[in-house]
């Protein structure tokens, strides 16, 4: 029985080493997967926010046209020279003005007007008789690519025509499916898109009495490779293979592929994340495959993590062998005493390494809880800040953050993060909610809707536009995480709260169906359904709420 002790010691030591090594490997993979999913959700939000900023830019250009009886080429050039949209809105190939003409008389009138601007060789292409034409009249910047699109009738091609008809019938922004832009040449051909905002005859300053017919289009020209690479950090694409499909997954529907032409660095495809984004009634299927960029877990991910795990494995194996030989008594008493001391020191060092590693791994730990999640977002912030200096923009955001934070903290809410033009905050709730779970959150949000005058009185209106905002509130389960002692929440509830924010009235509040059901009989509130065309993934309904 005594002869078995060295073998038993060796087996136990190897088993413990294997267990610790597998535990570290499992924990590292779990944290890496959470980081990968977090990074994927961040990318989805970046895409949506950047596309929305383009819409805000086009809305400003449309307002410029609506306020003018006729925009000349010189006025167009001056407007965009001051706007400098290429610096503030990266990823855009250009912004164009498209005029609707339907008769030969309209075409001759357009050509005659453009000749007065020096555009004597203007032609609509392709040639041919059609019932409607939507030719490109102005396009900025007028570089070697964009010059090719001047005069092109975007209504002559099916996909572009469908997008125009969608914008005309819905009187709202539309975006095309995947197209090849007229601007492309034989080098670096990219997938393209057009974002269209229609304007109508009776919207012009001197034509309000005319019938409401489509007068033209303000559109943004997007080259997808330029759009994504200006948005996503290179470190992310060096660790993830990103593919965007238009409508459904197939080779011909690829909008963007970060491994285009086979140019990419080799990395392990450890995780995969796919999500369908709703981009103005078009489906973008975004697939990310690879590994996290290691921005938050530099020690316990990648090469350093593998090295530490290998050290643990080797130290454990060495300790097991040492125990084996010590048990056999093959060394002298003095040598045994020295090696016991060394063994104790090595064990302490190893335990310290494992303890520090476990503590660091616990810095990113996800969990689930039920909250009332709220977002307040400045309306048209992109348009407003494009006309301000960095100092003036910082002052605007600081004042907005200060006024709204005071209201949130007064009602016992928790601010998660301020994003300049928006604040994400929440109120605690229970898994089986009652009316009381919502009252504090609703009262806080309604106090914020009445704080508009206080906010604007705090700003320097000699330089700053009138500031308005929208507020949304949703109840549900969220995931939470902490990194470097900074708390964050994320998940479908946060995403839904962000999505329905657009349906709020100016300086108003919208809530989800769950909140509506619990407070609909309260006489202190007036509730009204936001509309019947709300997408199903936003919930059973979205409701405006205000004080009676």
Give residue-wise pLDDT tens across range 96-129: 999 999 999 999 999 999 999 988 899 999 999 9
Cβ atoms within 10 Å of 380's Cβ, excluding its own: 18
For the chain, the distance separating the N- and C-terminal CA atoms, rounded to the nearest angstrom, is: 86
For range 514-533, the mean pLDDT: 84
How far apart are the C-alpha atoms of 178 and 234, rounded to whole Å? 24
Question: In terms of DSSP bridges, do strands 136-140 and 508-512 run parallel, antiparallel, or are they unpaired?
Answer: unpaired
pLDDT band for 313, please (50, 70, 90 cuts).
low
Dump pLDDT digits (tens) for 381-392: 888 888 888 888
Listed range (107-111, 291-295, 353-357) with the worst mean pLDDT: 353-357
Are residue 523 and residue 414 in the same domain, yes or no? yes
Instruction: Find out whether 321 and 346 touch, Cβ atoms under 8 Å.
Output: no
The number of residues in the chain equals: 548
Which CATH number does the domain housing residue 374 bear? 3.30.70.1230
- Max CA distance (Å), the chain: 112
Listed range (307-316, 346-355, 412-421) with the worst mean pLDDT: 346-355
The whole-angstrom distance between residue 366's C-alpha and the CA centroid of its chain comes to: 21
What is the per-residue pLDDT for 507?
A: 92
Are residue 126 and residue 245 in the same domain, yes or no? no
Angular region, 290: left φ>0, alpha ψ -120 to 50, beta rest? left
Higher-confidence position of 471 and 349 = 471
Residue 299 pLDDT > 50: no
Are residue 279 and residue 328 in the same domain, yes or no? no
What is the per-residue pLDDT for 7?
A: 77
Q: Is residue 295 part of a domain?
A: no
Dump pLDDT digits (tens) for 31-43: 878 888 888 899 9
Are residue 107 and residue 165 in the same domain, yes or no? yes
Q: Is residue 60 part of a domain?
A: no
Q: Is residue 454 part of a domain?
A: yes
How far apart are the C-alpha atoms of 293 and 242, rounded to whole Å? 13
Question: In terms of DSSP bridges, do strands 542-547 and 525-529 run parallel, antiparallel, or are they unpaired?
Answer: antiparallel
Residue 457 pLDDT > 80: yes
Q: Across the strands, what pairs with 244?
A: 256, 286
Are residue 380 and residue 515 in the same domain, yes or no? yes
Are residue 116 and residue 208 in the same domain, yes or no? yes
What is the per-residue pLDDT for 367?
A: 65
Residue 201: give the domain boundaries.
Answer: 68-228
Are residue 242 and residue 319 in the same domain, yes or no? no
Are residue 512 and residue 446 in the same domain, yes or no? yes
Q: Is residue 138 part of a domain?
A: yes
Are residue 235 and residue 280 in the same domain, yes or no? yes
Question: Which two three-digit tokens encode residue 244?
Answer: 């965007």
What is the per-residue pLDDT for 439?
A: 85
Q: Nearest Cα to 194, choosing from 60, 92, 278? A: 92
Are residue 6 and residue 20 in the same domain, yes or no? yes
Are residue 542 and residue 474 in the same domain, yes or no? yes
Q: For the chain, what is the domain count?
A: 4
For range 245-260, the mean pLDDT: 92
Question: Which two three-digit tokens encode residue 140?
Answer: 């900025």
Last residue of a domain, one of 213, 228, 243: 228
What is the per-residue pLDDT for 139?
A: 94
Which CATH number does the domain housing residue 88 bear? 3.30.450.350
Listed range (264-268, 398-402, 466-470) with the worst mean pLDDT: 264-268
Last residue of a domain, one of 343, 361, 379: 361
How far apart are the C-alpha atoms of 366 and 77, rounded to whole Å? 52
Residue 472 pLDDT > 80: yes
Listed range (171-185, 307-321, 362-376, 448-462) with the worst mean pLDDT: 307-321
Dump pLDDT digits (tens) for 56-90: 999 999 998 888 888 889 999 999 988 888 888 88
Are residue 155 and residue 209 in the same domain, yes or no? yes
Instruction: Find out whether 256 and 225 touch, Cβ atoms under 8 Å.
Output: yes
Angular region, 351: left φ>0, alpha ψ -120 to 50, beta rest? alpha
Instruction: Find out whether 20 and 312 touch, Cβ atoms under 8 Å.
Output: yes
Q: Across the strands, what pairs with 374?
A: 425, 473
Most confident of 24-33, 42-51, 452-461: 42-51
Residue 296 pLDDT > 50: no
Higher-confidence position of 492 and 298 = 492
Last residue of a domain, one of 228, 246, 265: 228
Q: Nearest Cα to 364, choosing from 452, 415, 430, 292? A: 292
């Amino acid at each position: 029985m005594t002869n078995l002790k060295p073998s038993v010691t060796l087996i136990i030591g190897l088993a413990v080493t294997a267990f610790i090594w597998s535990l570290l490997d499992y924990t590292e993979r779990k944290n890496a997967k959470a980081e990968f999913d977090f990074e994927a959700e961040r990318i989805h939000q970046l895409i949506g926010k950047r596309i929305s900023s383009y819409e805000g830019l086009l809305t400003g250009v449309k307002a410029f046209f609506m306020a003018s009886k006729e925009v000349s080429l010189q006025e167009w050039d001056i407007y965009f020279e001051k706007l400098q949209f290429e610096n503030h809105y990266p990823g855009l190939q250009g912004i164009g003005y498209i005029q609707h003409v339907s008769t030969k008389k309209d075409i001759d009138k357009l050509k005659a007007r453009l000749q007065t601007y020096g555009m004597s060789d203007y032609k609509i292409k392709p040639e041919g008789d059609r019932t409607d034409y939507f030719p490109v009249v102005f396009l900025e910047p007028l570089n070697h690519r964009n010059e090719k699109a001047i005069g092109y009738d975007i209504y002559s091609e099916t996909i572009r025509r469908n997008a125009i008809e969608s914008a005309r019938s819905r009187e709202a922004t539309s975006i095309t499916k995947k197209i090849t832009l007229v601007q492309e040449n034989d080098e670096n051909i990219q997938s393209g898109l057009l974002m269209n905002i229609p304007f109508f005859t009776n919207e012009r300053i001197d034509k309000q009495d005319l019938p409401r017919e489509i007068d033209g289009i303000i559109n943004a020209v997007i080259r997808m490779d330029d759009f994504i690479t200006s948005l996503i950090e290179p470190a992310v694409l060096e660790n993830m293979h990103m593919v965007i499909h238009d409508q459904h997954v197939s080779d011909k529907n690829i909008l963007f592929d970060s491994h285009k032409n086979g140019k990419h660095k080799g990395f392990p495809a450890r995780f995969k994340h796919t999500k369908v984004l709703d981009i103005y009634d078009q489906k973008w299927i975004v697939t990310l495959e690879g590994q996290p960029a290691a921005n938050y877990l530099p020690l316990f991910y990648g090469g350093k993590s593998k090295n530490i795990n290998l050290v643990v494995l080797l130290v454990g194996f060495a300790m097991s062998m040492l125990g084996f030989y010590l048990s056999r008594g093959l060394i002298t008493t003095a040598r045994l005493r020295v090696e016991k001391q060394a063994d104790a020191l090595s064990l302490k060092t190893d335990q310290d390494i494992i303890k520090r590693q476990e503590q660091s791994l616990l810095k990113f730990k996800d969990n689930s809880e039920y909250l009332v999640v709220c977002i307040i977002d400045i309306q048209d912030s992109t348009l407003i800040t494009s006309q301000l200096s960095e100092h003036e923009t910082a002052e605007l955001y600081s004042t907005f953050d200060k006024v709204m934070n005071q209201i949130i903290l007064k009602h016992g809410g928790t601010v998660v993060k301020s994003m300049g033009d928006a604040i994400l905050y929440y109120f605690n709730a229970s898994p089986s909610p009652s009316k009381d779970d919502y009252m504090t959150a609703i009262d806080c949000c309604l106090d914020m809707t009445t704080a508009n005058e206080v906010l604007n009185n705090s700003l320097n209106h000699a330089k700053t536009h009138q500031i308005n905002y929208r507020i949304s509130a949703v109840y549900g389960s969220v995931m939470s995480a902490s990194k470097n002692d900074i708390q964050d929440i994320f998940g479908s509830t946060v995403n839904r709260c962000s999505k329905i924010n657009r349906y709020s009235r100016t300086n108003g509040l919208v809530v989800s169906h769950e909140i509506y059901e619990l407070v609909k009989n309260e006489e202190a509130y007036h509730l009204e359904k936001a509309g019947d065309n709300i997408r199903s993934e936003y919930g059973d309904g979205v409701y405006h709420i205000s004080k009676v």
